[in-house]
Amino acid sequence: MRGKYSRWYAAIALLGSVLVAGVFAQAPQRQQAPKGPWMDKSLPPDQRADLVVKEMTLDEKLSILHGRGGFQAEGAISNGGAGVVQGVPRLGLPPIQLADSAVGVRAAAERGRYATLLPSTVALAAAWDSSLAFEYGEVIGRELRDQQYQASLGAGVNLMREPRNGRNFEYAGEDPVLAGKTVAQLVKGLQSQKVIGDIKHYALNDQETGRNIGNVKLSKRVMRETDLLAFEISILESQPGMVMCSYNKVNGDFACENDYLLNQLLKKTWGFKGVVVSDWNATHSTAKAAMAGLDCEQPGAPAERARFGDALKKAIDAGEVPMSRVDDMVHRIIRTAFASGVVDEPPLGRVVDPFRGAESSQKIAEQSSVLLKNANALLPLDAARVQSIAIIGSKADTSVLSGGGSAQVDPPGGGASRFGGPAVWFPSSPLKAVRAKAPKAKVEFHDGVDVKAAAALAKASQLAIVFVNEPTTEGRDMPSLNLSGNQNELVSAVAAANPRTIVVLETGGPAAMPWIDSVGAAIEIWYPGVKGAEALANILFGDVNPSAKLPATFAKSDADLPHPVIFGSAPPPTPTPAAVPAAAGAAPPRFQMTPFDIDYTEGLKVGYKWFQAENKQPLFYFGHGLSYTTFAYSGLKAGIDSVTFTVRNTGKRAGAEVAQVYAGLPAAANEPPKRLVGWEKIQLAPGESKTVTVKLEPKFLSIFNEEKDDWELLAGEYRIFVGGSSADTPLTASVKR
């Protein structure tokens, strides 16, 4: 197995072991364990924290409530991550080094290190697989520790209300239950490695356009049943050490000084015991933010300039922030450090094992690539029979795409990548991977810039595999669902030349596919991670039977979305076919610089709920995904707390089906027609049947009652739907409550 990995990994392992002594020698020194009673590991973290807080001077307290500036500004105290919570050496508290790590640890190359690029979080959600999500978190947690970080800045669970959001690749799709459960498992896996987990960006930071000035307007009921439900599930199930508040405003107040979001909901209702950390420079005030529930300012600045430094001291003196609140802020940070294990078992620093990470990354890519279309069983390809293949577009001769911004992972051998710089491609070559599968076939590559020449190669080949891509990044949204540059034109021309055309999409989220009827097959591989091409080849040639299902609806066009134009942006530019090469990025939208409202008038109707309520046909529904085998559903027995049914593999290959359970609420609830309430991923040999029982959590069948400020399971008739996608539910039943 290992022999197959490219020489990059061997080189990295070698380089890493040479550098490691030097690198970690520069990393912050471990603290001498002092004798204080708080070092008694048998005491609960809260008690240990109380003992420490009693010993601390005010200056020591303030020193941990703000960072000292991002990256370089931290100078010697930084380990190279995005921020630091300073330690208190006198009391044996180490600094908490914070590293971005949404899809792998960021900025490793800068310090001569390596980190595994995993498939995007949205891809992970497409696997609908809790143990895989746990493994995803484990990889990140392990590699954080290896690089001597104590905390992750990762695990985004913002709902995909806006399919053009530039950060959708970092999030877990449009459904709160799928997103919440996926991210909960990810954080559990991460925290199992004894590092502090983080869930972000709390809340409703669902678009990048004007993210610092947009004010999201939504009722409590809608927020609780949609975006906040994803946070509620992931936070309650994983108990992350940190929650990062977001840049935007919610109903008039910035998220990082929003009493409802932070004090009332997160801390009081959900009982969150950890640290509310600001997104970078999202602390807008001192007393207001502190009293609304923000605990730690990042990346902060030296005390004289930090909002939670000297300014907080003044606010304490002025009686605007009581000492009890300051102690609570400090307590939260310290109890989190104890609870996570970073004090008792500090990360010592090790060379990252690139093989182990790559193996997980490939497995996750195989489980998360969604087969969207497969007319006449064009796939899987038969290596013994295929004679010639044209591979076209998207640097498919050399590499696969990754997502940008603070989720960017540095490529092996490619050096450090720049925030806001060009899209970063990872050395995993689809051309080589396909050649390795079909050594006797003639496999040729064309970059797709000259559409006519690409189509000519497709015509001369037995089949064509066209790669299309859309780089996305933090800081900007896609102006449109349309693929940028000449890519739609390219696919249409190739498909016209050869109907045996397979389209491979490398996107951060949904894309419009005006050519879908003319192609033979289409597969969404997202940003597939460091072994993306190898995973894809296994699917194309049937070594892996695809089982992933879309975690988001793919609309036919922007016009079908609740908001055809993104709030705060100029109208999408008219596409200029042929002017831009296939691999080029989307043009950044023009930002509207005056504050504006983001009025989500679709309310509860997010994603598939919008399309079903409005009777609009999307391109592909939430939950859709094909297999090389077929499944039949039967025998539904439904109750209000569980449903039982049977799934049979009616084809000739072993495969896995993600059987999905949806509910329609009583008419009085006034809800969209269907909502996801549970699922089970079932492995089946050919001809095999399994009967499964899916438990239904009462909250997922409830509405949020604003007057009672609580969930309410209404009396009445519930419809239960079971099947292979949100639009294909062959089993139905009614249940009375």
CA–CA distance, 650 with 400 (Å, rounded to integer) = 34
Nearer to ligand BGC, 100 or 138 (CB): 100
Nearer to ligand BGC, 280 or 426 (CB): 280
CB of 543 to ligand BGC, least distance (A): 36
Amino acid at 129: D
Nearer to ligand BGC, 474 or 524 (CB): 474
Sign of the Cα torsion 701, 704, 708, 714 reads: negative
Among 53, 109, 124, 153, binds ligand BGC (CB under 6 A): 153
CB of 118 to ligand BGC, least distance (A): 16
CA–CA distance, 104 with 409 (Å, rounded to integer) = 6
CB of 198 to ligand BGC, least distance (A): 8
Q: Cα Rg for the chain, rounded, in angstroms?
A: 25
Binders in 279-338 for ligand BGC, by CB under 6 A: 279-280
CB of 679 to ligand BGC, least distance (A): 28
CA–CA distance, 416 with 408 (Å, rounded to integer) = 10
Beta bridge partners of 195: none
Binders in 242-281 for ligand BGC, by CB under 6 A: 279-280
CB of 688 to ligand BGC, least distance (A): 44
CA–CA distance, 19 with 582 (Å, rounded to integer) = 38
Among 12, 82, 301, 495, binds ligand BGC (CB under 6 A): 82
Nearer to ligand BGC, 98 or 466 (CB): 98
In the stretch 185-214, what mask flags binding to ligand BGC with x, by CB under 6 A? ---------------x--------------
C-alpha 214 chain-centroid distance:
22
CB of 187 to ligand BGC, least distance (A): 15
DSSP-derived letter for residue 585 is: P
DSSP-derived letter for residue 4 is: G
| Beta-sheet strands, E only, within 270-331 | 275-278
In the stretch 657-696, what mask flags binding to ligand BGC with x, by CB under 6 A? ----------------------------------------
DSSP-derived letter for residue 296 is: B
Does residue 74 interact with ligand BGC by CB under 6 A?
A: no
Residues in contact with ligand BGC, counted by CB under 6 A, come to a total of 8
How are beta strands 717-723 and 655-664 bridged, if at all? antiparallel
| Beta-sheet strands, E only, within 625-730 | 631-638, 642-649, 655-664, 675-684, 689-695, 703-705, 710-712, 717-723
Nearer to ligand BGC, 406 or 553 (CB): 406
| Token pair for 124 | 């992970």
Q: Residue 61: CA atoms inside 13 Å, Cβ hemisphere, count? A: 23
CB of 456 to ligand BGC, least distance (A): 45
C-alpha 718 chain-centroid distance:
32
Please report where in the chains the tokens 């539910």 appear, as a residue: 729
Nearer to ligand BGC, 406 or 498 (CB): 406
Among 79, 406, 461, 501, binds ligand BGC (CB under 6 A): 406
- DSSP, collapsed to helix, strand or coil, labels residue 260 as helix
CB of 446 to ligand BGC, least distance (A): 37
CB of 244 to ligand BGC, least distance (A): 7
CB of 538 to ligand BGC, least distance (A): 32
C-alpha 430 chain-centroid distance:
24
Nearer to ligand BGC, 248 or 360 (CB): 248
CA–CA distance, 201 with 280 (Å, rounded to integer) = 11
Nearer to ligand BGC, 80 or 520 (CB): 80
Q: Which residues contact 149 (CB under 8 A, 6 or more apart)?
A: 79, 81, 97, 98, 99, 101, 105, 195, 347
Nearer to ligand BGC, 153 or 586 (CB): 153
In the chain, DSSP finds a helix count (H) and a strand count (E) of 18, 27
- Kindly provide the b/e burial profile for residues 236-265, where b requires at least 16 CB atoms within 10 angstroms of the residue's own CB: eebbbbbbbbbbbbbbebbbbbbeebbbeb
Active site positions, annotated: 279
CA–CA distance, 409 with 394 (Å, rounded to integer) = 19
Binders in 509-568 for ligand BGC, by CB under 6 A: none
Sign of the Cα torsion 163, 299, 338, 109 reads: positive
Q: Residue 50: CA atoms inside 13 Å, Cβ hemisphere, count? A: 5
CA torsion 18-21-22-27 (nearest 10°) is 140
Binders in 89-108 for ligand BGC, by CB under 6 A: 100
Instruction: Using CB atoms within 10 Å of the CB of residue 108, give its burial: 0 to 12 exposed, 13 to 18 middle, 19+ buried.
Output: buried
CB of 100 to ligand BGC, least distance (A): 5
CB of 306 to ligand BGC, least distance (A): 16
CA–CA distance, 467 with 522 (Å, rounded to integer) = 10
Nearer to ligand BGC, 247 or 721 (CB): 247
DSSP sequence for 715-737? SSEEEEEEESBTTB--EEEEEE-
DSSP-derived letter for residue 28 is: P
CB of 166 to ligand BGC, least distance (A): 11
CA–CA distance, 356 with 358 (Å, rounded to integer) = 5
Decide if 400 contacts 117 (C-beta within 8 A). Answer: no
Nearer to ligand BGC, 62 or 82 (CB): 82
- Kindly provide the b/e burial profile for residues 61-96, where b requires at least 16 CB atoms within 10 angstroms of the residue's own CB: bbbbbbbbbbeeebeeebbbbbbbbbbbeebbbbbb
Nearer to ligand BGC, 205 or 486 (CB): 205
Contact residues toward ligand BGC (CB under 6 A) are 82, 100, 153, 200, 279-280, 406, 474
